[in-house]
Amino acid sequence: MDNILPAYNDPLFSILVIIILVLIVAISSFVMGSIKEKKKRKTLKSFLKGFNTKEHVLNIEEMPFDSTLIKPLSLLAEAFSNQGEYQKSINLNIYLIEHIDTFFDKEKILEQLGRTYLKAGFLKRSESIFLQILNKHPRNIQTLYNLGIVYELLHEYDKALNTLIPLNILEEDTKILEAHIKLNRLLNNRKISPNEKVQKLEALLENKHYAYRRIIKALFSLNLEVAWNNIQLDKIDSILDILWFLPSSNLNLDIISSSETLLAIYLAKGYIKPNEVTLKSNIFAIDTIIAVKQTGSDNIDLLFNYGCGKCKQHFPISFTRCPKCYAIDAIQIKETLAKKKSQTNYSLL
Ligand SMILES: [Zn+2]
């Protein structure tokens, strides 16, 4: 040994050996790291290839890439997505993702691609994209919310609830969202009896995080008596359309006659004969119809449309999540007066 390594006992030699060892470790970890990164990039590329459709809507595949294109193309993709041109938006996003090297630079574009797939109804693709993002950036709050929406739309409520765990760790207030998902899970649960469902729904009325409108609507379709017993007069604005479109056979005259507001609504509707002409509901449209009825005319009806308190869009049908921005608990019921058509009686239930 002494012949092979003559300076073995020399402390300088020991230091040299340590330096060589450190260098070997550093070089090998650098090499391993770059191989791993290359592998990751390859995985993401092959992952995206699975989504690449053969429809060359934009002919951008052969376009030479330049980093200055990222911003304008990303904005263009967003504009396409907002206009409902989902395929064009998807193609642009995939083009950008394939040409950008680092995850940091393409995270926002991946998010946009996931949202576009969500809007276009490709829920499984959207789920894959969001999971890819979270795999690299588990603290991406908006992506956690978006993944929850995907699972909710897939009716995978337990998975949707699981997305709330990291959100809570990240100090997000998810109480209303949790109530929303749990209510969906209850309403779509076919394993429990209607009676059990009614009991559970009635109990949830005590919890302020649960949407009153959704519970009453479900109760009217499950048990009329329980629904009527839980009418809260201070929340009538949020269920006026449901009450208005109830068939006359579903009315509870005992409860209606105990409230001037309810009497006024069904007087305006034409289900109750006007014994008392001074009825007032303090709902402008209802009181206007009653005033017009007093003149002998009976040709005014109510039309409803539904606004989103967050994105301010309006829709002709009711929703639990805004179809545009996916906000929950944001529905605003707007009633307008309209000329009565021959047949407008239908139930929302
Ligand atoms: Zn909205």
Cβ atoms of 203 and 187 closer than 8 Å: no
Q: Residue with structure tokens 């289900």? A: 271
Burial of 146: CB neighbours in 10 Å, binned 0-12, 13-18, 19+: buried
How many angstroms separate the alpha carbon of residue 310 from the centre of ligand 1? 5
State residue 41's pLDDT score: 55
Distance (angstroms) between ligand 1 centre and the Cα of 302 equals 24
Span 90-119, pLDDT tens digits: 999 999 999 998 999 999 999 999 999 999
> Tokens at residue 2, please?
């002494």
Which pTM was predicted?
Answer: 0.79
For residue 339, what are its two tokens? 């000329």
Ligand 1 centre distance from Cα of residue 240 (Å): 21
Count of structural domains, the chain: 2
The answer to whether position 253 is within a domain reads yes
Distance 98 CA to ligand 1 centre (A): 32
Average pLDDT (344-349) is 60
The rounded Å distance from CA 157 to ligand 1 centre is: 22
Q: Which domain, by its residues, includes 260?
A: 233-339
Tell me if residue 5 falls in helix, strand or coil.
Answer: coil
Quickly count: other Cβ atoms within 10 Å of residue 88's Cβ.
20
Gap from CA of 121 to ligand 1 centroid (Å): 17
DSSP-assigned letters across all residues of 55-97: --SS--TTSPP-GGGHHHHHHHHHHHHHTT-HHHHHHHHHHHH
Q: Is the pLDDT of residue 198 over 70?
A: yes
Helix (H) or strand (E) holding 308: strand 300-308
In angstroms, the CA 322 to CA 313 distance is 9
Neighbours of 334 (CB within 10 A): 13
Q: Across residues 151-158, what is the average pLDDT? A: 97
* Cα-to-centroid distance, 315 and ligand 1 (Å): 10
Contacts of 280 (CB under 8 A, 6+ apart): 260, 264, 287, 290
Residue 265 covered by a domain = yes
CA of 152 to the centre of ligand 1 (A): 17
Q: Which residues surround ligand 1, an ion (CB under 5 A)?
A: 308, 310-311, 322, 324-325, 327
What is the CA(94)–ligand 1 centre distance, in A? 27
Bridge partners for 331 per DSSP: 308
**Higher local confidence (pLDDT), 230 or 280:** 230
Q: DSSP class of residue 272? A: S
* Mean confidence (pLDDT) of the chain: 87
pLDDT at 111: 97
Query: What is the distance between the alpha carbons of residues 343 and 164, in angstroms, rounded to a whole number?
Result: 45
CA 114 to centroid of ligand 1, rounded, Å = 18
In angstroms, the CA 181 to CA 2 distance is: 75
**pLDDT band at residue 349 under the 50/70/90 scheme:** low
pLDDT at 195 > cutoff 90:
yes
Residue 101 CA to ligand 1 center (angstroms) comes to 34
Percent helix, percent strand, percent coil in the chain, to nearest 5: 60, 5, 35
| pLDDT, tens digit, 9 for 90 and up, residues 116-149 | 999 999 999 999 999 999 999 999 999 999 999 9
Bridge-partner residues for 306, per DSSP? 315, 333
| Residue carrying structure tokens 């376009």 | 63
Span from the CA of 221 to the centroid of ligand 1 (angstroms): 26
Within a domain: residue 248? Answer: yes
Q: Report if residue 212 sits inside a domain.
A: no
The C-alpha atoms of residue 307 and residue 311 are separated, in whole angstroms, by: 9
